[in-house]
Amino acid sequence: MNQSRAFQIEYHQFLDPDGVPVGDLPPLAEETEALQALYRNMVFTRLYDERAIALQRTGQLGTFASSLGQEAIGAGVGHAMRPEDIILPSFRENGALLFRHFRVRDLLLYWGGDERGMANPKLGDDFPICVPIATHTTQATGVAFAIKYRKQPRVVVCLLGDGGTSKGDFYEAINLAGAWNLPLVFVINNNQWAISVPRNLQSRAETLAQKAIAAGIPGVQLDGNDPIAVRHYVAEAIEKARDGGGPTLIEAISYRLCHHTTADDATRYRSEEELEAHRRLDPVPRLRRFMERRQIWSEEQETRLIQACQAEIEQEVRHYLDTPPQKPESMFDSLYAELPRELQAQRQSLLGKEVNHD
């Protein structure tokens, strides 16, 4: 039988789990400031995460999706984007959002059930956190189409989870991205679990990156716990898209070291041994060890960084806690230009005013 086509998926990694280079490093590895910025973002995200969970546990936050163990993805993506690019995040991309104009207070307001958290005018064209799985992938194609149509030198970055790649929306989105050669980069945060569904039950595909092949776009797989690899390959894909080179699908392999959200108990479906094995791949000490060996990071810098992050986070938490709650009827305010009658009635009844149903 003749072979029609053959494909392969490349896997990239620069640092092993101990932060030791596995081969030649990209120019980024010589950029002290960039490495320190990536590291700061990861440490900040982790400390914010811890604080948000404490707020939730004490009844001061509705729910929260941690990114513990996956910080390299957010940091690498956020750092690779230019201010004029547009992010369409899912709900586990804190680090990427913190590199943009999202502040901790915005994120806390959102998770506290206050939509004003996503209404900061400084967010520009960035999209709010998307909780419905993969629905934002088709929106991303729309945004990327608009950019291309207007000939703007901007790129759209859309992040989703491994589970999200099983949704029809995702296949439609990558197909259109390919067909229209859109300036769009999809980044899959493959943390290997979609709540309690493990990656191997989610799809028979050997890699998630290979889904790109059917869409006719490049698909690459990365060690998503290697911040240098994420930053390097996401930046490469973004700049290629900016130059008219079209979309890329990046699968960043990581692991969710935390519960799915504060409403989940991951001990019910996965073992301590599995968790322990993945703790050894943690991206934060990985970059720290690399920088220490290069003598661009010290114990003293670490202590100062932690203090500075904690002080900033506490200030943001104060802003969040001091924000007067939204009025309950505000939930009707941003849905429609003109509220349909049934919803008007609901709004009125919430205000304590009965309406006539003729």
Ligand X SMILES: Cc1ncc(C[n+]2csc(CCOP(=O)(O)OP(=O)(O)O)c2C)c(N)n1
Please select the residue that binds ligand X; options are 56, 66, 141, 191, rule is CB under 6 A: 191
Task: Between 119 and 131, name the residue whose CB sits nearer to ligand X.
Answer: 131
Residue whose beta carbon is closest to ligand X: 161
Please select the residue that binds ligand X; options are 161, 219, 227, 247, rule is CB under 6 A: 161
Using CB atoms within 10 A of its CB, is residue 101 exposed (0-12), middle (13-18) or buried (19+)? middle
Question: Minimum CB separation from ligand X for residue 5, in Å?
Answer: 29
Please select the residue that binds ligand X; options are 133, 182, 228, 258, rule is CB under 6 A: 133
Q: Where are the beta strands (DSSP E) in the chain?
A: 10-12, 86-88, 156-161, 184-190, 193-194, 197-198, 219-223, 248-253
Residue 104's Cβ-side half-sphere holds a number of Cα atoms within 13 Å equal to 25
Question: Which window, 73-81, 110-118, 161-169, 315-323, contacts ligand X (CB under 6 A)?
Answer: 161-169
Catalytic residue among 79, 231, 260, 347: 260
At 231, list the tokens: 């930053």
Angle at 104 between CA 227 and CA 188, to 5 degrees: 40
Task: Between 141 and 202, name the residue whose CB sits nearer to ligand X.
Answer: 202
Is 256 known to be catalytic? yes
The strand pair at 248-253 and 86-88 is best described as: unpaired
Q: Please tell me whether residue 137 binds ligand X under the rule CB under 6 A.
A: no
Task: Count the residues of the shown chain that bind ligand X, applying the rule CB under 6 A.
Answer: 15
Neighbours of 115 (CB within 10 A): 14
Neighbours of 262 (CB within 10 A): 18
Q: Please tell me whether residue 157 binds ligand X under the rule CB under 6 A.
A: no
Q: Please tell me whether residue 66 binds ligand X under the rule CB under 6 A.
A: no
Binding residues for ligand X, rule: CB under 6 A, are 92, 131-133, 161-164, 189, 191, 193-195, 256, 260
Active site residue ranges: 256, 260, 269
